[in-house]
Chain A
Amino acid sequence: MTVEEYNKAVEAYADNLYRFVVKNLKDEHMSGDIIQDTFEKLWVKLEDVSASKVRSYLFAAAYHTMIDYIRKEKRYAGLDHTIEQEQAHDMQYSDLGELLDRAVQNLPEDQKAVVMLRDYEGYSYREISDITGLSESQVKVYIYRARVYLKYYIGSVEQVI
């Protein structure tokens, strides 16, 4: 991969990567750090990554960095997160997008990541499997479970409203 191709990858995928990470983490500062870290990894491995595989490489690197960060953070913030989840139903939502966004945040990390890769990036089960390291059938099951949760979460909140 050349420097020119690297810069094209920045132009083409930095925003998508950032969306994927920031929607998962809800932390712009940390998300920015992960994106920089991800592209730094690409820069170091520039000669090993072909231009055709760079998108998958970037998402895989960002996903694993993000998961590491989440696991590390959970050790300290587990209790607060639980309380936040319980209060979700009492919050007011202006539109479906906001409601869905809140619902997604309640998904387990694996399910959240795969459903985002699926909906935001349009990745196939196989590609998501390559990125996350999960098996293809695991990816499929996570997506199905996520859909069920999202549907019933939205339905239950809409009834309350």
Chain B
Amino acid sequence: MWNRLFDMEINRNNYEAYLLDLVEGKLSAEELRKVREFLVFNPDCGELLNDTEPWLLKTEAVSFRGKELLKKHLPETNEMITDRNFDLFSIARLEGDLTPEQESAHETMVAENDLRQEEWTAWQNTRLPVGPVLYPGKQGLLRRKKGNSRILWLSLVSAAAVIALLFFIFKPVPDLPLPALTDLPAPGPAVESAVIDGKGPSHMKGIVPLKLVERDPGNNGSVMFAARKHTRSPAETSLSAGNHHPVQHTGLAGEVKRNDYTLKQVRITELLKQPVIGINTIEPDRIRPLEVPPSAIHYTSLSIAQIASMNLPEVIDEVAEEKNISLWSVASAGIKGINKVTGADISLLAYRDDDGGLSGIRLKSKRFSVNTPVTHKE
């Protein structure tokens, strides 16, 4: 077939391959025409066709003489006992495979012949005696309660991680009212606004656009501004000023002299890796405190049934608030736990919109990647 794959012309160097295909009937009509044309001009090459028999193996009729011996023969229900099948019937009787009629016939044959009686006894002796054998380590196999702590721990960690993830994914991130703004005097007309950096998909990698709106030009050239953005971890936000002076502000509103800064970009750094330059005290992703008194329950002392009956999202909420940890920390801890125990390589990433708000979550590993959008409730 190689000659046709390369669409080669038939010649004296490759004609055998064409002839082989001809014998096997694999040539197309066009190829057949070419071969015949070739043979007209090269009749000596066609001599091979007169000797095609050795090229092809003929099907031969070969039978295995011992075939009958291979067949299994077991007593049929309508078969009757004879001298020839006595042994077969003896085994069948031993195994309880005979019909009542067949068993009766076997019994009669045994009773009538001493030799058959001996034979039958010999067959009965092939049955293994059921003697008492005691297993010495039996007590060691008994269990008091199911205590496979590793599996239990793995289950709990996995469950906690999944719950934390679900809670994290589906909990709406509130569009915060920027509480510090409420303390400001009534805003005048915005004199300047800017969207800084972060256009396009690069913001997914950590550069987050910040919309800065000047609220109230101060008397001495200072500007009150509000940063309209919602990040999951505002404490990780740094705001670079033109002269590398940090922009000082309180909350999401601040005061800064206009000439002192040129905003370049706002970068969301990795969790706690860089010192906070611009301090933003609003933490929109912190879990809101529950309106219940702190619980004195020690969770490690609870039974599985008790844990199952609890409202786990609330528990996580409560513990997270008490320990002052964010949902990111809870989710990351769960993911780390799963990775550590199972050797997986799962990581949790966040998508952010132009305002820095959380727009989606990506759960990924080498084998899979799941993107989940997050909708913000007004």
Contacts and interface: CB of A to CB of B under 8 A. Distances in A.
Given A15-B133, A15-B134, A147-B94, A7 B126 contact: no
16 contacts: A3-B144, A14-B135, A14-B141, A15-B133, A17-B135, A18-B135, A19-B131, A36-B137, A100-B128, A120-B128, A140-B97, A143-B91, A144-B88, A148-B91, A151-B122, A151-B125
Nearest to A38: B141
A96 interface: yes
Interface of B: 72, 74, 87-88, 91, 94-95, 97, 122-123, 125-138, 140-146, 148
Interface string A12-39: 0011011100110000000010011001
A119 B122 contact: no
A7 B135 contact: no
Nearest to A10: B141
A144 B91 contact: yes
B137 A35 contact: yes
Interface size class of A (residues with CB under 8 A): 35 or more
A119 B148 contact: no
A147 B141 contact: no
Contact of B125 (A11, A35, A96, A120): A96
A11 B139 CA distance: 9
Contacts of A144: 74, 88, 91, 95
Nearest to A8: B142
B122 A44 contact: no
A60 interface: no
Interface string A87-99: 0000000001100
Contacts of A7: 142-143
Counting chain A CB atoms within 10 Å of each CB, the highest count among B126, B132, B134 belongs to B126
Given A15-B135, A22-B133, A36 B141 contact: yes
A23 B206 CA distance: 69
A78 interface: no
Interface of A: 3, 6-7, 10-11, 14-15, 17-19, 22-23, 32, 35-36, 39, 43-44, 46, 96-97, 100, 104, 115-116, 118-120, 137, 140-141, 143-144, 146-148, 150-151, 154-155
Contacts, number: 86
Nearest to A4: B143
Contacts of A97: 129, 131
Counting chain B CB atoms within 10 Å of each CB, the highest count among A3, A115, A146 belongs to A3
Contact of A116 (B87, B128, B143): B128
A6 B143 contact: yes
Contacts of A22: 133
Contacts of B140: 36
B106 to A, nearest CB: 15
Given A35-B135, A150-B126, 19 more contacts: A3-B143, A3-B145, A3-B146, A14-B138, A15-B135, A18-B134, A19-B131, A19-B133, A32-B137, A43-B146, A97-B129, A118-B95, A119-B130, A140-B97, A144-B74, A146-B126, A147-B126, A148-B87, A151-B123
A115 B128 contact: yes
Contacts of B129: 97, 100
A10 B136 CA distance: 12
B278 to A, nearest CB: 55
Nearest to B97: A140
A104 B131 CA distance: 15
B135 A154 contact: no
Contacts of A147: 91, 94, 123, 126
Given A35-B137, A36-B137, A104 B91 contact: no
B164 to A, nearest CB: 26
Contacts of B95: 118, 140, 143-144
A32 B137 CA distance: 7
